[in-house]
Amino acid sequence: MRRRASLVLLAFAVFFAALAPVLRWYAFPRLAKIPPSQYQEMVLEAKPATLLQYDTMQAKEVEKVTIVQTLKGNVEESEKIERDAGRDVVVWDSLSYVQGPDGKMVSQIPERYIFDAHTQAPVHATGETVDGAAVRREGIEFKWPFLTEKRDYEYFDAQTRTSAPIHYKGTRTFRGMEVYYFEQTIPWTKVAYPKKMPMPGIDATTLEKQTGTTRWYTTKRMFWVEPVTGAPVNGEEIHTEELRGGSLLGGRDKVTAFSGHVKMREDYVDFTVDLVAKNRTTVLLLVSYLPWSFVTLGLLLLALSLYLEARSRRPDDPVVEQREPEPVSA
């Protein structure tokens, strides 16, 4: 009976020991994915900011500039691309909408970002665009991979439409959560005008050719990334844009189009931290909590199995021979 029980326990020990690496190396890449239908909205503000007044072509300090950034999963397009890609793909249609203190549009730049649902690596397909122009992304954008490493990554910049390293700067604590801090600095670079401008009747595609005035941009980009989920819990930019030369400036060399320290609004920071904390627990179940629990359980079952097996092999207690009493004669 003991031997039978030890064999059953041994079978369970092998099962749980085998299940641990299956969860970590097989189930995790297939279950930890960005859902194709995800919708996310983020509000960022620069308070105060410098903004170009296009009616006078003079830069003016304003109370604040607001950037509303939306990411919307395009399920239909992702399913089309998956047929050729042979893997789970997410298509995000994003929009960065910038408005001044009066609520009027300053600029808006749409993007289509196509990437692998688990690794966040870009997937190159028709429709990969920034402001209607085809691009070929290298590196990440918006989100880091699951189990982010302490190293530099290539990060795509939508303004210059190129990728550059974003540097790991150390581990920090943000709102009680351990995060990795990353920085990227884009030097002054000539960039295209947004297709939608705040000046009625202006064709942004020919503005530079007609006036000779060019648009330049620089930024210092900062992210606080929760490493298990790869999700930024906070993001900031010290962002500056200038118009340079040409007839549009009336003989001036340059004028500031926008300048400000852009930060996530506090209520969106709180919401993001809470959401990431919940998702972190789910990912840790797959990569740490359950695998290590199964390993521990397997070892305990193995030890119990060996103990019962050893007990079953012990010799039975010796039987004392009973002798008949000898008759006594008178």
Q: pLDDT of 74-100, one tens digit each?
A: 999 999 999 888 889 999 999 999 999
For residue 198, the model assigns a pLDDT of 82
User: Could you say which DSSP state residue 192 is in?
Assistant: P
Handedness of CA 124, 130, 132, 133 (dihedral sign): negative
What pTM value is reported for the model? Answer: 0.88
Stretch 213-226: mean pLDDT:
97
Q: Residue 208 burial (CB < 10 Å; 0-12/13-18/19+)?
A: middle
Q: Quick one: pLDDT at residue 60?
A: 95
The residue among 9, 78, 65 whose CA lies nearest residue 37 is: 78
- The average pLDDT across 212-229 equals 96
Given a cut of 80, whether residue 1 has pLDDT beyond it is no
- How many Cβ atoms are within 10 Å of 301's Cβ, its own excluded? 20
Give the separation between CA 189 and CA 186, rounded to whole angstroms: 8
Q: How confident is the model at residue 111 (pLDDT cuts 50, 70, 90)?
A: very high
pLDDT of 38 over the 70 cut: yes
What's the mean pLDDT in 248-273?
Answer: 94
In the structure, what pLDDT confidence band is assigned to residue 140 with cuts at 50, 70 and 90?
A: very high
Q: What is the pLDDT of residue 118?
A: 94
What pLDDT is recorded for position 81? 93
First CA to last CA distance, the chain: 54
Interstrand relation of 58-62 and 214-226 (parallel, antiparallel or unpaired): unpaired
If you average pLDDT over every residue of the chain, what do you get? Answer: 90
Out of 5-19, 158-172, 310-324, pick the least confident.
310-324
pLDDT at 330: 47
CA neighbours closer than 13 Å in the CB half-sphere of residue 269: 16
- Specify which residues 116 forms β-bridges with: 89
Residue 117's pLDDT band, with cuts at 50, 70 and 90, is: very high
User: What's the confidence (pLDDT) of residue 255?
Assistant: 96
Query: Does 55 or 61 have the greater pLDDT score?
Result: 61
Find the range with the poorest average confidence among 185-199, 295-309, 311-325.
Answer: 311-325
Indicate the range of 12-21, 26-35, 49-58, 307-316 predicted with least confidence: 307-316
